[in-house]
Structure 1
C-alpha cells in the first residue's frame, strides 16, 4: 500500500507541477486559446497565476514533507486541498460543457482522495 500511495502522490505531483508551471508562466491569452483553457479568458491573469502557484505548492506538498521527514502530515492535508481545487475545476468545466476536462478533474480528485485516505487512515507516515 505504501508503494501505491507513493506512486499516486508522484503522479499527482507531476500533474500539479505541469499545470502549475503552465498557469504561472504561460500568458493567459495563450492559455485561453488552448482546448480546455477557455475558462482563463473569463478570469483575471492574477487569478490564473495564483492557481498556478498553488498547484506548484501542491506538487511540493505531496512529496517533500514525507521525503524530507519534515511534517509528513502535510501530504494528506495537501491531497485534501487538491480535492477542493478539483471540485472547483470540475464545476468550472461542467458549466462550460467540457465533459472530458471535467472527467479528468474527477480522476485527479479520486487520486487525491486515495492519497488522503491512505495517508490519514491506512498507511500514515510515522515519525
Structure 2
C-alpha cells in the first residue's frame, strides 16, 4: 500500500505542478480560451492559485523524501483536496455542467484519500 501511496503522491504532484505552472506562465487570453472560469477572477487570484498548486505539489513529496516535517505531506494533500472542492463549486456555480466539474471532483477525491491514508493507517 505504501508503494501505491507514493505513486499517487507523484501523480498528484505532477498534475498540480503542471496546472500551477500553466496558471503562472500562460497569458490570460489563452487561459480564458482554455478554461473560461478564468474570466470571473482577477489575474492575481489565478496566479495565486497557481502558486498554491505548486506549493501543494512540492508538499506532497519533498518532506517525505527528505524525512523532515513529514506531517506536511498529508496536510498538503488535504489542502489540495479543499482547493479542488472549491474549484468544483466554481464550475457548478457558473453552470459549466458536470463534465467541467468532474476533473476537480476526481482530484479532490484522490487528494483527500491520500491525506486520509497518510494521516491514519499508513503514516510516513
CA distance in 1 between partners of 2:100 and 2:113 (Å): 20
Q: Which runs of 5+ in 2 are unaligned?
A: none
Match of 1:51 in 2: 49
The alignment covers a number of residue pairs equal to 123
Within a 5 Å distance, the mapping from 1:1-127 to structure 2 comes to 1-34=1-34, 37-98=35-96, 99-125=98-124
Q: CA RMSD, aligned part only?
A: 0.9
Consecutive aligned runs of 4 or more in structure 1 exceeding 2 Å deviation: none
CA distance in 1 between partners of 2:17 and 2:38 (Å): 18
CA distance in 2 between partners of 1:114 and 1:8 (Å): 10
Matched-pair contact (CA < 8 Å) for 1:28–1:48:
no
Deviation at 1:118, TM superposition (A): 0.9
Q: Which runs of 5+ in 1 are unaligned?
A: none
- What TM-score results when the alignment is normalised by the length of structure 1? 0.93
Deviation at 1:97, TM superposition (A): 2.7
CA distance in 1 between partners of 2:11 and 2:89 (Å): 23
Deviation at 1:82, TM superposition (A): 0.8
Comparing 49-58 with 99-108, greater Cα deviation is found at: 99-108
Deviation at 1:101, TM superposition (A): 2.5
